[in-house]
Structure 1
């Protein structure tokens, strides 16, 4: 049979009987000092600390998500307020102005003055839910800073120089073509 390490050391003469007894006595003393469940308690405490750390991390991530949602709602509220305060009335609109939104052709009715301003880029069309509103260019720029998708149409005056070889350089294309 296999002998314990202590018996093997005694047999080889590396340790004497007195030293072996002192070592085993010390070993028993240490075993009595630490209770049987003490090691399990340490493992339980370590696991509990780990779970608390994981929960704190999850809570922190959830708080960040909530904060992002709150900020998004605040931005949308700011956009609604900007549109409501700066919407241009188009109640006497008799000219249909067509534009594209989400790959569909949409139409709003405006008067000739508003049509000219739209063509020159002085006013823009913004989406408010399912409806469309006209707002000044400066307001449209503020809305675009917050959410570019809400600005449906904002014409820019082109400052391109016509090429010398362009055969159609003498023919200007109007911005307010009717569809």
Structure 2
């Protein structure tokens, strides 16, 4: 060994240590001097790690939101497809009026379609800016995907519709009978 310290050389000459032992100690000392020490993480390192974790959490939240929006868009597309496939031709001479967004709209229907609308066998749905008639089965499938597309549905039970009036109002208005054949 050319770079051994003088004490090691003297011990080797005297025969007190073996050459392999001196080499092992020299390697340990070299590794100890040149190895990177595991220093405690600095404040900047901790802050950077915290920032990375926060960014990863924000990214995950944004991804969840994007997936939810994509799922809603997919359900709306499915509802539009069902309407396109199953809508009935609104052909007739009778004007059927209904309210949508504080406006009264009109759709032309036949006498049979008017009876089915009143009974709840047909439902009126929004298709873009216009309206269409759907059979009950197709309307239920549309409601599962996007209930906002359903404009008029007389087939809902009283439990499914939101109760806007109290029982006192219901009792008061029960005394006024509305004819079944009322057309306005």
Task: State the shift of 1:124 in Å.
Answer: 0.4
Q: Does 1:150 align with 2:124?
A: no
Tell me the residue number matched to 1:173. Answer: 179
Task: State the shift of 1:156 in Å.
Answer: 2.8
Q: Distance in 2 between matches of 1:172 and 1:54?
A: 62
Instruction: Please say if residues 101 and 152 of structure 1, whose CA atoms lie closer than 8 Å, have aligned partners that are also in contact.
Output: yes
Tell me the residue number matched to 1:115. Answer: 114
Aligned pairs (5 A) from 1:11-50: 42-50=42-50
Task: State the shift of 1:49 in Å.
Answer: 0.6
Aligned pairs (5 A) from 1:10-159: 42-90=42-90, 92-156=91-155
Q: TM-score, normalised by structure 2?
A: 0.64
Instruction: Please say if residues 124 and 155 of structure 1, whose CA atoms lie closer than 8 Å, have aligned partners that are also in contact.
Output: yes
Q: TM-score, normalised by structure 1?
A: 0.66
Summarize deviations over 1:107-126 as a string: whole Å, max 9, x none: 00111111111111110001
Task: Give runs of ≥4 in structure 1 deviating > 6 Å.
Answer: none
Task: State the shift of 1:167 in Å.
Answer: 7.5
Gaps of 5+ in 1: 1-37, 160-165
Summarize deviations over 1:45-77 as a string: whole Å, max 9, x none: 111111110110110111011011101100110
SS in 2 for 1:156: coil
Instruction: Please say if residues 126 and 150 of structure 1, whose CA atoms lie closer than 8 Å, have aligned partners that are also in contact.
Output: yes
Instruction: Please say if residues 124 and 137 of structure 1, whose CA atoms lie closer than 8 Å, have aligned partners that are also in contact.
Output: yes
RMSD, aligned α-carbons: 2.6
Instruction: Please say if residues 120 and 157 of structure 1, whose CA atoms lie closer than 8 Å, have aligned partners that are also in contact.
Output: no
